[in-house]
Amino acid sequence: MPSDPLSATELRRAWTEVNNWPTAAFERFSLEDWPQNNAAVSDEDFAKDPARSRLAIVMSRSNTHPITRGQAIHAM
């Protein structure tokens, strides 16, 4: 069995860095910011479909993770 490319300390540091980035980004939003349109959605498209808010985008993208993980595990 090959050795791990990262030590436990390095892995913990990387894990913390990866998880702190979205937390810091989310904390910059006020409660009033979340229902606004996502930067990737034009004002015209947002007027047609107000469900494309920042919150909706984050929720839809974070909900796919468990599904993808389950598919990967099932494929093994």
User: Where along the chain do its domains lie?
Assistant: 31-76
* Predicted pLDDT of residue 10: 93
Q: Give the span between the Cα atoms of 6 and 30, in whole angstroms.
A: 37
Compute φ and ψ for 58, nearest 5 degrees: -60, -45
pLDDT per residue over 4-56, tens digit each?
788 889 999 998 998 898 889 889 989 899 889 878 888 998 899 888 888 88
- The pTM for the full model equals 0.54
Residue 39 has what pLDDT?
Answer: 82
The contacts of residue 58 (CB under 8 Å, 6+ apart) are: 26
Query: Which of residues 38 and 67 earns the better pLDDT score?
Result: 38
- What confidence tier does 76 reach under pLDDT thresholds 50, 70, 90? very low
Structure tokens at 30: 């006020």
